[in-house]
């Protein structure tokens, strides 16, 4: 299934994408794509519905973040060997973990707002997985049972805030609009191998990132198990797994986003995003 949320910010309704690429309304069955709806039993109930029996949503409504009421957004840094190489940093011996504020989460095609004082706002196409069942001290063998599905995240990053100022990475990662998520949550059964997905990103039609989740250092299965040693993962939590090479910081000379730029990105089987950059 491809589950989604549509409508104005803060008023999104649950829906799914049918086989013809049309949005169908799920409001009669769930109140949101969140919480209990993401549990295995909840997904099974949605899977049993014939999409043709659901109301068709007319027009082209705004798509919101594909998951609602996100408890936490956990991100993994330097998790692609070829991206680590372009930054000049060593592949970490354990996953680098940082948090992105949930207030940064927006829809897949919403505006990216440059924060005041921004000097180096950058892009990162990332594969994210969404937790569907609480995970605490789970083994790698059990890990995938706790994954509801996958989606795209653009881990927008202000590099000066992140790297050149004191403190942790969070403040360079958490500005409003720095977490475009979606367009849909693709359930786990529709992704044969999350470690073999093509990933790309373009700015103003120029392709900067053209990689694959195959170069991830720590894969989805490992990350579920690893993170569950340090915190419980709850239904609806989003874990964004890192980016392939081609970020603006890695260009020679470096390239960063400016007002008016258009960012387009996608991951094989998970859809695409498109954002216009504005001054916040």
Architecture of domain 73-279: Alpha-Beta Complex (3.90)
Q: What does the domain layout of the chain look like in residue ranges?
A: 2-53, 73-279
pLDDT of residue 84: 67
pTM of the model: 0.96
Residue 168 banded pLDDT, cuts 50, 70, 90: confident
What is the spatial distance between Cα 82 and Cα 5, in angstroms, rounded to a whole number? 34
CB neighbour list of residue 60: distance below 8 Å, 6 or more residues apart: none
143-170 residues labelled b (16+ CB within 10 A) or e (exposed): beebbbbbbbbbbbbbbbbbeeeeeebe
pLDDT of residue 137: 98
Tens digit of pLDDT for each residue in 119-162? 999 999 999 999 999 999 999 999 999 999 999 999 999 999 99
Residue 1 banded pLDDT, cuts 50, 70, 90: very high
CB 43 within 8 A of CB 37: yes
Per-residue pLDDT at 106 exceeds 90 = yes
Per-residue pLDDT at 165 exceeds 90 = no
What is the overall mean pLDDT for the chain?
96
Number of Cβ within 10 Å of residue 89's Cβ equals: 12
């Amino acid at each position: 299934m491809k589950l989604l949320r549509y409508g104005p910010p803060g008023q999104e309704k649950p829906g799914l994408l049918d086989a013809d690429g049309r949005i169908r309304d799920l409001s009669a069955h769930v109140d949101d794509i969140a919480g209990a709806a993401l549990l295995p039993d909840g997904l099974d109930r949605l899977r049993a519905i014939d999409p043709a029996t659901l109301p068709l949503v007319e027009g082209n409504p705004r798509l919101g973040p594909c998951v609602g009421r996100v408890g936490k957004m956990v991100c993994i840094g330097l998790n692609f060997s070829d991206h680590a190489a372009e930054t000049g940093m060593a592949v970490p011996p354990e996953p680098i973990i940082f948090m992105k504020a949930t207030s940064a989460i927006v829809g897949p095609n919403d505006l990216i707002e440059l924060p005041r004082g921004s000097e180096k706002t950058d892009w990162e196409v990332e594969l994210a997985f969404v937790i569907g069942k609480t995970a605490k001290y789970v083994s790698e063998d059990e890990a995938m049972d706790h994954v509801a599905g996958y989606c795209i995240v653009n881990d927008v990053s202000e590099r000066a805030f992140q790297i050149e100022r004191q403190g942790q990475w969070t403040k360079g990662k958490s500005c409003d609009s720095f977490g475009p998520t979606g367009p849909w949550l693709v359930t786990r059964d529709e992704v044969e191998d999350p470690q073999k997905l093509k990933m790309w990103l373009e700015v103003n039609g120029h392709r900067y990132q053209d990689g694959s989740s195959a170069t991830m250092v720590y894969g989805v299965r490992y990350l579920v198990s690893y993170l569950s040693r340090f915190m419980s993962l709850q239904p609806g939590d989003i874990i964004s797994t890192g980016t392939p090479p081609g970020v603006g910081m890695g260009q020679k000379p470096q390239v960063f986003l400016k007002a008016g730029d258009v960012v387009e990105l996608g991951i094989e089987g998970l859809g695409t995003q498109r954002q216009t950059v504005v001054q916040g």
